[in-house]
Amino acid sequence: MILCDNDIRERLKKDLVLEPFSEAQVSSSSVDLRLGHEFRSFKHVSKSHIDPYDVKGSDEYTELHKIKNGEAFIIHPGEFVLATTLERVEMPKDLVASLDGRSSLGRLGIIIQTAAMVDAGFKGKLTLEVANIGKMPVKIYPEMRICRMTFYKLTDQCDKAYNGKYLHQKAAEGSKIEKDHEFNDN
């Protein structure tokens, strides 16, 4: 079941956290999330590739950019960056959510490719994978609406709430794939 606006408002009073939050973010069946101030872009490095079995941290191949209010981050055609939401999210144990990019930005060539599901129990800011598939550079601004979050009710509270490697993240973080159990078994 997808939560409607009234259900979302009730859960925000009870056990769903979105901070900072404004009533203007709520639509009929979702909540708009805004773009945070931090972006992580990929550097041009002399490495020939990224090997998930040998990732030593994304700082080796990415750099962090902090953008002030009123300033823009320009995303060029073919460019892929990591961004973060302005909002910190705390999901209760009986809700999951999906993220979708805004159509208005998609029409400019900006797509949001995320690990589209936010698990029950997740806490932290959401990292967004943002790409420009258009032919012209596009300015994106901190605190602009970037995506929407749709909430789904689980049949019951989950026994195993999210406790993964991105719990409590506060910024646009690079991949932590090296912490996956299948990589550590080798």
Contact 135, 105 (CB under 8 A): no
Query: How many C-beta atoms surround the C-beta of residue 44 within 10 A?
Result: 6
With contact defined as beta carbons under 8 Å apart, do 130 and 82 qualify? yes
Report the alpha-carbon angle 71-60-78, nearest 5. 55
Largest Cα–Cα separation, the chain: 53
Whether 90 is a known active-site residue: answer no
Per the structure block, which two tokens stand in for 46? 């002399």
CA 90 to chain centre: 13
Catalytic residue among 129, 143, 173, 182: 129
Q: Is 26 helix (H, G, I), strand (E, B) or coil?
A: strand
Query: Residue 27 is encoded by which pair of tokens?
Result: 């639509």
- Cβ-based burial of 152 (10 A; exposed 0-12, middle 13-18, buried ≥19): middle
Q: Which amino acids are annotated catalytic?
A: 129
